Structures are given as C-alpha cells and as structure tokens.
Amino acid sequence: MTGAQPIAAPDLAIEIRGLQKTYYSGFFRRPSRGLESLDLEVPKGEIFGFIGPNGAGKTTTIKCLVGLQYPTAGHAFLLGQPIGSPEARRPLGFLPERPYFYQHLTAREFLDFYGQLFDIPAALRRQRTDALLARVDLERVADKPLHTYSKGMLQRAGVAQALINDPQLIILDEPMSGLDPLGRMLIRDLMLEEGRRGRTVFFSSHVLSDVQSICHRVGLIAGGRLRAIGSIDELLSEQVQHVDCTVRVPPQVPLLGEAVTSRGDERIVRLPPEQLDDLLVQVRQAGGQVVQVIPNRKTLEDLLLSELGRNDPTTPPGVSP
Amino acid sequence: MNRIWAIAKNTHREAIRDRVLYSLLFFACVMLVASLVTEEITIGDQEKIMRGTAMGAISLFSSVIAMFLGVSLVYKELERKTIYTIAAKPIPRWMFVMGKYFGLLLTLAVNLGIMALLYLVIMGLRLGMPHPSLLAFLALLFVELMLLTAWATLFSTYSGPTTASAFTLAVFVIGHLADDIWSFGQQAESPWVQRLSEFLYWALPNFEIFNVQPEATHELAIGWARVATATGYGLAYSTVVLIAAVVVFQQRDFK
C-alpha cells in the first residue's frame, strides 16, 4: 500500500482502490502481475459473486482482502477498516479455497478453537458451536476427528468456522468447489440466509449457475483486471440468443439452422429466434412434428466466454454493453 | 493473552496426538531404564555412571524432540494451509508465532516432566533421595530447550523442515562448541582469526552455559548465581531470536 491513506466510504462493505499485486519468482526474481489496478465496491447487505477463469486474480484479491497477502500498491477497506489490520478481520468470516483444517481436532473442538481466536466467551462459544453444527448438519459427527470427514463435510465445517463470530461480512473462496448437488444447495441456502439477515456475502465461484441464481451483483475478473460488473439483469440481456428446436422429420428433408444432433427421425437444430416461424412451416410441410422448443438467453457463461474472447487488456471495466 | 493461549493449547494438543512424539518419548524412557544396566557393566563409580547415562538420555531426547517438533512448527501450518483460516482471524502474526512457540514449550515441559519423574523413580529406588543439583540440571536444560526451540521456530518461519533441521542442528552443535571457538581464537596468532572467533563466540548461542550435567552427575553444589545468569542469558537470547522470527513471519505472503 502506498501514499496517503484515503477515507473509507461508510456504506460499503468492501472498497478496493487501485489494488495491485506483483509476484516475483525464479532466480532472477522475474515479476508477474497477479492484479492490475483493481477497483471494486461492494455495498453492505449485498450478495456479490466474483467470477473469472483460473489465474484471473480472484483468489489473489481475496487473499489480499483477508490479510494473507500484502498488496504491492493500492488501498482496500473492509467495513471501513483498512485491510491488514487485525481489527478489519474482526467482523469477517472467511472460507479459503480447498480448506485445510487441523485434522486432529473434532468439529466441536475445531469451532471452539476458532471461537477463542475471536475472544468469544466460553458460554457463547458453546451456544454458537451447537447452533452452527446443527445448521451445517454435522451434529451427529461433531465429536469425531476431522480426518474422518468427507470433502463435503469438511467444506461444511469450514463454512461453520467462517460463521463462528456471527460476521457482518462473509468472504468465501470457491465455496461450491467439488461439492455434490446436496452440498451445493446447503451452502447456497446458507449464503441466502446470511444475505436475508443483512450480512454481506462476497464469494468467488466457477459454478456460474449458482452465481446467477443467488447474487445481487456480479464482477467478472480476467487477467488481473475487472472486465465487467453489474446486476445479473444489467449484465445479461433478457433477449433470446438462439432457439434449440427438437423436431421429428424424415432424414432427407433439409431444415433451416445448425444441426446439433440427430437420432433417426429426431433432430435438434439451433437457429436464431427470428427463423423459428420459417422452421415450423418447413416441418409442417414435410409432415413432421415439433417435439420441443427451448429459447436460450445469454448466461454468465456466455458473458465469461465473450469477455475472455476479447483479448484486449485495456478494455475499461464497467457494465457490459 | 487468551488468543495466544488458545493457539498454544492447540499446538500442544496437535503434538500430543502425534504418534512420532510417543516413539521418541518411548526410546527416551528405554534409555533411562537401560541406565540401570550400566551398574552391571562398569567398575567403580557406578552411581555416577548411572546418573550420567540417565541425564544424558534426558538431555539428548529432549533436544531431539525440541528440534523435531520445532523445525516444522510454523512451516507445517503453511504447507497444510491451516494458516489461511488462522491468519484471516483478528490475530496479529506475532501472536500466532508466540502461541506456536509456547505450545511447543508446553509439550517439551510435559515430556521433560515425564522423563524427570521416571528418573526420580529409577534413581530413587536404587540410589535414594536425589541431590538438589538435579533441579538445576532440569531447569537449565529447559532454558536450553527454550533457546533451541526459538532457533527452530525462526528457521521454520521461512524454510522447509529439511533446511530448518540442518540449520537448527548446526546452531545446536556450534552452540555446544562455543567455548572451543573462543579457545581456538585465543591460541591463533592472526589477530583477524582472533577477532572472528570472538565475534562468533558472542554472536552464536553458547549452549554450554546451560550444561551443568557434570556437576549434577557428581552431585556437586551448583550456585544459584550461575543458574540465574544462564537463565537470564537464555531468556534474553530466546527473545531476540523470537523477535527475528516474528519479523520474518510478518513479511510473508501466504501463497
């Protein structure tokens, strides 16, 4: 961090100004940029999804925010406190990517230990530990050591430790990674519940459908720069991009659009929405049958792919057109 | 202080659930019991040889355990990435280093206590009440372990266990040769060699200052002034090394 410390905005849970991170590696200490002057604001009470490809800078941003790495330049604040100070981490709950915990501890001991790091009184620690174990469905195995847990159970224990201090701001790095659908649903519900309680949830994820379904706003990072930010509605148009149409017609009949698959008489064709009427006429004339019509709107995945396809690192961040 | 104590307790709990520790402790106890055999195979001064062998075993195994646990003390947290969730809590990094250090000292104190108890039982049955010099031996051995652990902690904050082991062992060996380094310099003709040996003598730890095993073996009185001087030296030196460990750890990025 450099220069005079700016004043933090009071209504923001996360405020990042020109954050940069440079790594040096190899014998000649060659520099490589992890973050290029990142600016980001997350208001209090928002569920914010942070997406981007591998190596985009998501984890680097999170590590700088929670005090695991020092930024090379720039400023950032968590709930008005400059990052790096232990006080900034007091109202923070954090789950790292692929969390590793003390394997010798039981889940109960583990949560109690983390509660002690916040100076939470013993009676309150016990109360919160019991409540959290129930909330993440680990009550039955609460007294078994963590090395006997499955990946999903460890992830749930990790989420529980992130909530032991009843945090105002929850930062989760890839919380859905490697979980089965039930595990993902549990974590998703927990995030929504915390959002309803007025907590700010900031999480990175590769599971774009989850991001799309629960976030108020999304930020897309690539190459250490913020490429797009906005609400789902702002980023993704409601307009139908293309239509997937399943039809049953004889194989020799030519059809409009791009053939996706065909099996016997049944074919799936993809075409622009304005050609759908013409396709239906073709099918009727050939004496065929329309089985299914699926309109496809732009998804976060499309946005991510289109942003990655744009190899222009100088693209200024902002709401995508 | 509560937070340091929480980390110390967790470190101690992790160590006592480690099977390797029990193996080392087991061998230490075997060596202590084996010291009884020396009575059968030595002529004259059997009591001194029994005491010397047993104290040597306590000293050796305590140091081995301190080095074994100390060199991976902080590194293990980085390697296993358990540090990620700890460092993201409102814990200043110095508190973490101190918590780990005190947790290891607690483990070493318990181990030393077990070995001392076994020593008292074995020697008590054979040789009667122990001489008070045993207390000075145990106290100074613990101060030595404090200093050794501080060095191991320092190396552990920036290097892997293999490198840290090599460095800690080097400090341990050189520390026991400190008086020889001084003597070598005094006998050298070159003033440069003299100055270098003096510099090394004062810069490197002198572990021999804690060594009262010969006096304790011969049941000679050990003055409290000597114990206090060695303890003060050990505490001051450990503090300096721990400050260096905190400074190094404070700069680290956790990748």
| Cross-chain CB nearest to A63 (options B10, B13, B254) | B254
CA distance B255 to A194: 29
More confident residue, A304 or B187: B187
Query: What backbone phi and psi angles, to 5 degrees, belong to A40?
Result: -160, 140
CA distance A199 to A197: 6
**CA B212 to chain centroid:** 15
| Cross-chain CB nearest to A86 (options B17, B81, B91) | B91
* Probe site for chain A from B18, B93, B253 (most A CB atoms < 10 A): B253
Question: Searching chain A, which residue's CA lies closest to the CA of residue B8?
Answer: A113
CB contact under 8 A, B90 and A90: yes
Closest chain B C-alpha to A275 CA, distance in angstroms = 52
| Cross-chain CB nearest to A104 (options B13, B91, B92) | B13
A49-83 tens-digit pLDDT: 999 988 889 999 999 999 999 999 999 999 999 99
CA distance A93 to B137: 48
Rg of chain B (C-alpha set)? 20
Buried b (16+ CB within 10 A) or exposed e, A173-199: bbbbbebeeebbebbbebbeebbeeeb
Do A288 and A247 touch, CB atoms closer than 8 A? yes
Measure Cα distances from B204 to B69, B152, B174, B240 in Å: 22, 14, 8, 12
**pLDDT value of residue A1:** 47
The H-or-E segment that residue B214 falls in is helix B213-217
Residue boundaries of the structural domains of chain B:
2-251
Query: What backbone phi and psi angles, to 5 degrees, belong to B254?
Result: -95, 105
Measure Cα distances from B75 to B80, B171, B245 in Å: 8, 19, 12
In the structure, what pLDDT confidence band is assigned to residue A314 with cuts at 50, 70 and 90?
very low
**pLDDT value of residue A318:** 41
Max mean pLDDT among A175-179, A194-198, B115-119 falls in A194-198
Rg of chain A (C-alpha set)? 24
**pLDDT value of residue A250:** 86
CB distance from A94 to chain B under 8 Å? Answer: yes
- Using a CB-CB distance cutoff of 8 angstroms, which residues of chain A are in contact with residue B81? 96, 98-100
* Probe site for chain B from A102, A166, A171 (most B CB atoms < 10 A): A102
Q: Which amino acid is at A107?
A: A
| Cross-chain CB nearest to B91 (options A63, A69, A117) | A117
CA distance B253 to B81: 12
**pLDDT value of residue B148:** 95
B146: Cβ contacts below 8 Å, ≥ 6 apart: B105, B234, B235, B238
- SS3 of residue B255 by DSSP: coil
CA distance A244 to A273: 9
Percent of chain A with pLDDT over 90: 55
CB contact under 8 A, A114 and B85: yes
Closest chain A C-alpha to B98 CA, distance in angstroms = 14
In the structure, what pLDDT confidence band is assigned to residue A238 with cuts at 50, 70 and 90?
low
This complex has an ipTM of 0.84
Residue boundaries of the structural domains of chain A:
12-91+167-235, 240-297
Do A152 and A98 touch, CB atoms closer than 8 A? no
Max mean pLDDT among A152-161, A288-297, B20-29, B179-188 falls in A152-161
CA distance A257 to B51: 94
Q: What is the mean pLDDT of chain A?
A: 87
Q: Which tokens is A208 given?
A: 């774009």
CB atoms under 10 Å from CB of B175, counted, come to 20
CA distance B44 to A72: 70
**pLDDT value of residue A315:** 44
**pLDDT value of residue A311:** 52
A37-48 tens-digit pLDDT: 899 999 999 999
Q: How far apart are the first and last CA of chain B?
A: 28
**pLDDT value of residue A22:** 92
**pLDDT mean over A98-106:** 86
Classify burial at A293, counting beta carbons within 10 Å of its beta carbon; exposed 0-12, middle 13-18, buried 19 or more.
middle
SS (H, E, C) chain A: CCCCCCCCCCCEEEEEEEEEEEEEECCCCEEEEEEEEEEEEEECCCEEEEECCCCCCHHHHHHHHHCCCCCCEEEEEECCEECCCHHHHCCEEEECCCCCCCCCCEHHHHHHHHHHHCCCCHHHHHHHHHHHHHHCCCHHHCCCEHHHCCHHHHHHHHHHHHCCCCCCEEEEECCCCCCCHHHHHHHHHHHHHHHHCCCEEEEECCCHHHHHHHCCEEEEEECCEEEEEEEHHHHCCCCEEEEEEEEECCCCCCCCCEEEEEECCEEEEEECHHHHHHHHHHHHHCCCEEEEEEEEECCHHHHHHHHHHCCCCCCCCCCCC
Q: Which amino acid is at B64?
A: V
Question: Per-residue confidence of chain B (255 residues) as pLDDT tens digits?
Answer: 789 999 999 999 888 887 777 877 787 788 777 777 776 666 667 778 888 888 998 999 899 999 988 888 888 888 888 999 999 999 999 999 999 999 999 999 999 999 899 888 888 877 777 888 999 999 999 999 999 999 999 999 988 888 989 999 999 998 999 888 889 888 888 889 999 999 988 888 999 999 998 888 888 888 899 999 999 999 999 999 999 999 999 999 988
CATH superfamily of A12-91+167-235: P-loop containing nucleotide triphosphate hydrolases (3.40.50.300)
